[in-house]
Amino acid sequence: MYIGFYIRLCATAFFWALAFYSVTAVVQVFPVYLSAFFRFFFASLFLSVLTQIYGGWPSFRGLRNRLDLLFLGVVGVLLYNVCFFTGIKLSDPVTGSLIVAANPAVTALISSLWKREHSGLQRWMGIALSFCGLLLVFSRGSLETILGLDFHPGDIFIFGASICWAFYSVKGREVLKSQPVLGTTTVACIIGALLLFPLGVMEGMGLFTGIPGLASPALQAMNSTDVSAGSDSLSLLTAEFHLLLQPEHVILWLHLIYLGFFASGIAFLFWYQGVRALGAPRASVFINLVPVFAMIVSIFLGSWPHLYQWLGAAVVLTGVFITSRSTMQEQKT
């Protein structure tokens, strides 16, 4: 009876796993924040069509509704993708997928602390185990890294994205009690895209070069480390957009279209259909497949995951399983 929804949720996990590789390909050439903008520009177009077909738009009446939608757009799209795209730029797809795989445990922790939800001993054990797995991934299996707190910047950014997603999910559960799911998601994407665009423009003008490895591609090409405001910045921005339109970058635009239409649009539609049919706790179990698919893709591309990644995956997913299982048991009682 539910086989169709299981297939859609598996497809969603696969789409999200491939997203790590698409983002990796894009941010090696395109500006990070402008890439995030284009992803959600395409996603907003597609989700707007889906909203017209499958569901209504959320209500904007009342200050509370407007602030709720703004919160979802800022935290769930803007801040999440600033952290996610930056993290993938500085890290790697498999490590990123392992960190994101802990989302259910991070969400359970945020829910317990922020909304004062009751959490039993089993859930706390699952959360603790998931964070032990994350620590293994962060340290890349090195005790010296743990003791010196010398973690990779990209991993920290991706973990920041997980925290943003947790706040988005917890607040979203509250908002979606009175607002339509698909329409609310669409509006959040539109708000996030609108806010990402000025960041992309400022990045193109060379204003975000303080983070090692995050310098604008045009800035690197022009070898201008002291570009300032004015005509120089505008020249750099023009060079940045010219870089985006080069014929050899068609494949990167296809990656962005994939991120917008498949990893965002279709994946969100499948996800919410699964949540509606199976319930959020049962559907969230399929997130566990994201790092599995990501590691399979890595092997297919000729890059075997490291031992610490295999061990981290095992510990994180075990913790997530315990957390999800305890959540389902608590909702039944």
Q: What is the dihedral of CA 283, 167, 291, 139, to 10 degrees?
A: -150
Mean pLDDT, residues 4-30: 88
Mean pLDDT, residues 268-274: 78
Sign of the C-alpha dihedral, residues 61, 63, 65, 66? positive
Mean pLDDT, residues 183-200: 91
pLDDT value of residue 83: 92
CA-nearest of 104, 208, 218 to 166 is 104
In this predicted structure, the answer to whether residue 231 has a pLDDT above a threshold of 50 is no
Range of the domain at 282: 3-332
213 torsion bin: left (phi>0), alpha (psi -120 to 50), beta (else): left
pLDDT value of residue 333: 55
Ranges 13-17, 205-209, 246-250, most confident: 13-17
pLDDT value of residue 254: 92
What's the domain count of the chain? 1
Q: Is 62 exposed, middle or buried (0-12, 13-18, 19+ CB in 10 A)?
A: exposed
In this predicted structure, the answer to whether residue 259 has a pLDDT above a threshold of 90 is yes
In this predicted structure, the answer to whether residue 139 has a pLDDT above a threshold of 90 is no
Mean pLDDT, residues 279-306: 80
Count of C-beta atoms within a 10 Å radius of residue 172: 21
Q: Tokens in use for 158?
A: 């991706």
DSSP labels, 63-97:
HHHHHHHHHHHIIIIIIHHHHHHHHHHHS-HHHHH
Mean pLDDT, residues 274-280: 71
**Which DSSP symbol is given to 249?**
G
pLDDT value of residue 230: 42
For 95-116, the pLDDT digits (tens) are 888 888 787 778 888 888 887 7
252 or 235, greater pLDDT? 252
pLDDT value of residue 221: 55
pLDDT band at 74 (very low <50, low <70, confident <90, very high): very high
pLDDT value of residue 100: 81
Q: With contact defined as beta carbons under 8 Å apart, do 192 and 85 qualify?
A: no
CA-nearest of 50, 134, 34, 150 to 89 is 34
pLDDT band at 224 (very low <50, low <70, confident <90, very high): very low
pTM of the predicted model as reported, rounded to 2 decimal places = 0.82
In this predicted structure, the answer to whether residue 225 has a pLDDT above a threshold of 50 is no
How many CA within 13 A on the CB side of residue 220?
14
